[in-house]
Amino acid sequence: MTLVLDIRDLDKGFTMHHLGTKMAAFAGISFQLHAGEFLLLKGRNGAGKSTLLRTLYRSYLPGSGEILFHSSHGVIDLARAADVDVSFLRKTEVGFVTQFLTARPRVSAEALVAEPLRLSGVAAGEALEEARHWLDAFGVKRALWAAYPTTFSGGEQQKVNLARALILPQRLLLLDEPTASLDASARAALIVRLAELKAKGTAMIGVFHHPGDVAQLINREIDLTPETQSQEEREDVVV
């Protein structure tokens, strides 16, 4: 199996200067992740699940430890990689999926979805065609494709966001509760797309309120609740 991520003794805390306090989010996290593997992060609220995802994406600056990412360009420690390297990898190798869309003023839904493809070098026309395909797959009404998502309902925005986040196959995909408040058909489309990406070798780490949504994709679970930190291999599906 191809190693994608090798995390060694990672910790993260927050210094809150106005309170003069420090808060630990998680400590001593070590695990490996291989191509095509799906890892579920478990743990009670506040255990650091989303924090871990954001730390891996470098939206949060890690404390100590290593995040060795085996990219197609070589191995790099994301914990201390230069900002420009992180930006570069985010364009083609590391993706982050949330339930929220960052709409931009005066940018249409289809242009927003096509953008990751265009930035990775795909021709504008082809990227747009692909974008429309994914908007359709996630059930965004055709009449909305050329409209500005700023005024869309929460549900429609979320579908646009998924189309954008999943249009480009990546080596590592971080999923932060993408199914929350999603309707059944869009959820089904999401599972199909994730399964397809997984089969092509994308490694995934996810946080889900209802892990049942993605039960068939899960290979492994890690519980981040302090004291119960353990890894378990799973064969069956328990929801």
- Token pair of 129, please? 């065609």
Least separation in angstroms between residue 129's CB and other proteins is 19
Give the footprint of other proteins on residues 59-88 (CB under 8 A).
Answer: 59-61, 71, 73-74, 76-77, 80-88
Give the footprint of other proteins on residues 82-121 (CB under 8 A).
Answer: 82-89, 104-107, 118-119
Of 76 and 166, nearer to other proteins (C-beta) is: 76
Least separation in angstroms between residue 181's CB and other proteins is 22
- Token pair of 215, please? 């039960």
Of 58 and 198, nearer to other proteins (C-beta) is: 58
15 binds other proteins (CB under 8 A): yes
Least separation in angstroms between residue 124's CB and other proteins is 10
Of 98 and 194, nearer to other proteins (C-beta) is: 98
Of 103 and 195, nearer to other proteins (C-beta) is: 103
Least separation in angstroms between residue 51's CB and other proteins is 9
- Token pair of 141, please? 């009404």
Cβ of 126: how many Cβ atoms within 10 Å? 12
146 binds other proteins (CB under 8 A): no
Binding window for other proteins (CB under 8 A); candidates: 31-39, 56-64, 159-167, 218-226: 56-64
Of 81 and 180, nearer to other proteins (C-beta) is: 81
Binding window for other proteins (CB under 8 A); candidates: 3-11, 54-62, 165-173, 228-236: 54-62
> Sheet containing 3-16: which strands, arranged edge to edge?
21-34, 3-16, 66-71, 74-77
> b or e along 43-64 (b: 16 or more beta carbons within 10 Å of the residue's beta carbon)?
beeebbbbbbbbbbbbebebbe
With the CA atoms of 175, 176, 177 and 181 taken in that order, what torsion angle do they form, in degrees rounded to the nearest 10?
-110
**Which parts of the chain are beta strand (E)?**
3-16, 21-34, 38-42, 66-71, 74-77, 94-97, 172-176, 203-207, 220-223, 231-233
**Separation between Cα atoms, residue 175 and residue 179, nearest integer Å:** 9
Q: What is the DSSP letter of 103?
A: -
Residues binding other proteins (CB under 8 A) = 14-18, 54, 58-61, 71, 73-74, 76-77, 80-89, 104-107, 118-119
